[in-house]
Amino acid sequence: MGKTVRLTMAQAVTHFLKKQMTVVDGKKVPIFGGVWAIFGHGNVAGIGEALYQVRGELPTYRAHNEQGMAHAAIAYAKASFRKRFMACTSSIGPGALNMVTAAGVAHVNRIPVLFLPGDIFANRAPDPVLQQIEDFGDGTVSANDVFRPVSRYFDRITRPEQIISALKRAMQVLTDPLDCGPVTLSLCQDVQAEAFDYPESFFEERVWTTRRPRPDADELANAIALIKKSEKPVIIAGGGVLYSQATRELTDFADAHGIPVVVTQAGKSAIDERHPLALGSVGVTGTSAANAIAEDTDLLIAVGTRCQDFTTGSWALFKNEKLAILGINIAAYDAVKHDGHPLVADAREGLKAISSGLAGWKAPPALAARAETEKKNWVEAAAKVMASTNAALPSDAQVIGAVVRSIGGENTVALCAAGGLPGELHKLWPATVPGSYHMEYGFSCMGYEIAGGLGTKMAHPEKDVVVMVGDGSYMMMNSELATSVMLGLKLNIVLLDNRGYGCINRLQMGTGGANFNNLLKDSYHEVMPEIDFRAHAESMGAIAVKVASIAELETAIANSRGNDRTTVFVIDTDPLVVTEAGGHWWDVAVPEVSPREQVNKARKAYVEKRAAQRIL
């Protein structure tokens, strides 16, 4: 038996984490960017002390909300294209449960993050311990069991030696392009403090690199044949293109074969939107150009996307009866969706292999010509809705236009997550370089925005991070604004106040519903809220300004360039105005029976729209 070192289980965790490395831009760096921690009785004595011992090699960051810190960790990994990630530790009970929503975000978006919640006593001597959830019929259950369905790997550590296999498995999942997602290691609080003679080899440095599976020969031959016989192919680029770092290969593929490219929320910035074949966003929040080409396509080349309903217009977007789907994806689960022809491979390797097999082949010139015409029409429409205005309540699009003119550029990252802004940003933000657009729209989690901006800034401190957030999401979670100030990480936060949940109010109206419980004016109140967002942001240490117009917003952003800390720009906006050009129907079920004529009318239209759905 080799040499051993006696450590507590928690110390073994931190010593192991600090030795995991990766290679970024040819340089070896730690794969963990740090650990977010909010301590309580379930982790302060165990993992808290262990983190203190390695603080110079594995930095620990203090947050104000467990969900917020987990969102920051997720954004860090997303902004790093999953090459680097972070860990999060909490106490038991509410501290742990606060991270579950974020675990759902990571699971849906397939983002690596390591959750280390404290747990009950394995020896059960003090049961029920403070914050313990008791199951009357199962003595093994704790609050942390809710992590199971939102973790790619879950383990509960009830003996100190179990951490050896658990951490090895955790790293395999966190770095695997297919299994990638959240890992939860539930750390019983007494076991955190128990010692074990760990093999020294367990703490040897390990360098993790990206695995790039190449396509199967038969699937490759079929993919090439499908493309060669198509007349109107279109590429839908998803987040997998960015995570594979296949953006150059995507552009080269489009150029070589004359195929237009449209993008999902996760895939936006996979191609420079100034490229003549780049038609922008597709689906429910799509540009008119992208959707016009997609509606008529006979071959959907889906690269690195899971074909979410917003991307496919609830599978009603594609109207061509001859439609075939080619799924280029590292996950067979996604590649075969809706009877797709799979090419299971890394996106970069898959595109290179297909392009080589298509040498000399190009789509009919009429396709690129139509794409050019449709794009021209869209660019004109977008310019109109983003133009400056003197309106007392500008639209979201007009605010976006002001931000683009003031701070947009290749060094800027636009970040958002929920509400009406994702639809407008998906259409209108001019993404030109990989990673310049950061949207959490897999889970569309309100409250991700500010914490996500913080994580993105940690990954790219040299970038200007612009967080666009509505008043609804801001009210749900804003605490990490204070953390950004505390860490000296400047965010530019544009807070659009439409006095309620404007996006869902519009959806409510669109499905025949009465204006009810979404906008503040339509909800029950004895006193109408008058929230001073500028004063609130200032109270957390930020610089803040309330502007009264688009012109004032542009001036305020320009004047903020020299600010040394997070700056918040508050502007009142119209809750009803959206960009009419582009877009597509989305399947939101309308009641079959209602005493209200507006609902019955909406139901009739809904049934008509559903007839166009592709059902398999």
**Domains of the chain, earliest start first:** 4-208 (3.40.50.970), 217-377 (3.40.50.1220), 387-572 (3.40.50.970)
Average pLDDT, the chain: 97
Kindly give, in sequence order, each residue whose CB lies less than 8 Å from that of residue 172, ignoring residues fewer than 6 positions away: 179
Tell whether the model's pLDDT for residue 88 goes beyond 80: yes
Kindly state the tokens that stand for 77. 């990994």
pLDDT band at 292 (very low <50, low <70, confident <90, very high): very high
The span from the CA of 372 to the CA of 256, in Å, is: 16
Looking at residue 2, its pLDDT comes to 86
**Other beta carbons within 10 Å of 547:** 20
Positive/negative CA dihedral, 336, 338, 340, 345: negative
Looking at residue 199, its pLDDT comes to 98
Q: What mean pLDDT comes out for the span 289-306?
A: 98
Q: What mean pLDDT comes out for the span 130-146?
A: 94
pLDDT band at 452 (very low <50, low <70, confident <90, very high): very high
According to DSSP, the residues that pair with 416 across neighbouring strands are 439
Task: Give the DSSP letter string of 247-264.
Answer: HHHHHHHHHHHT--EEE-
The span from the CA of 134 to the CA of 138, in Å, is: 8
* pLDDT one-digit tens code per residue, 453-463: 999 999 999 99
* pLDDT one-digit tens code per residue, 324-367: 999 999 999 999 999 999 999 999 999 999 999 999 999 999 99
Sort strands 85-90 and 32-37 into parallel, antiparallel or unpaired.
Answer: parallel
* pLDDT one-digit tens code per residue, 23-41: 999 999 999 999 999 999 9
pLDDT band at 1 (very low <50, low <70, confident <90, very high): low
Torsion angle defined by CA atoms of residues 384, 386, 391 and 392, in that order, rounded to the nearest 10 degrees: 160
Q: What mean pLDDT comes out for the span 296-305?
A: 98
Asked if residue 128 has a cis previous peptide bond (ω within 30° of 0), the answer is yes
Looking at residue 445, its pLDDT comes to 97
* pLDDT one-digit tens code per residue, 404-439: 999 988 999 999 999 999 999 999 999 999 999 999
Task: Give the DSSP letter string of 177-191.
Answer: TTT-SEEEEEEEHHH
Kindly state the tokens that stand for 476. 């749900």
Kindly state the tokens that stand for 252. 């080269």
Kindly give, in sequence order, each residue whose CB lies less than 8 Å from that of residue 141, ignoring residues fewer than 6 positions away: 133, 135
Whether the Cβ atoms of residue 79 and residue 433 lie closer than 8 Å to each other:
no
pLDDT band at 614 (very low <50, low <70, confident <90, very high): confident
Q: Quickly tell me which residue has 């990490």 as its tokens.
A: 480
Q: Quickly tell me which residue has 């879950």 as its tokens.
A: 154
Please state, for a pLDDT cut of 70, what percent of the chain lies above it: 100
The span from the CA of 405 to the CA of 386, in Å, is: 10
Whether the Cβ atoms of residue 266 and residue 242 lie closer than 8 Å to each other:
yes
* pLDDT one-digit tens code per residue, 142-180: 999 999 999 999 999 999 999 999 999 999 999 999 999
Whether the Cβ atoms of residue 279 and residue 260 lie closer than 8 Å to each other:
yes
Tell whether the model's pLDDT for residue 616 goes beyond 90: no
* pLDDT one-digit tens code per residue, 238-255: 999 999 999 999 999 999
Residue 610's H or E segment, with its range, is helix 597-610
Q: Quickly tell me which residue has 């704790």 as its tokens.
A: 142
pLDDT band at 615 (very low <50, low <70, confident <90, very high): confident
The span from the CA of 175 to the CA of 111, in Å, is: 10
The span from the CA of 201 to the CA of 146, in Å, is: 33
The helix, strand and coil proportions of the chain, stated in percent and rounded to the nearest 5, come to 40, 20, 40
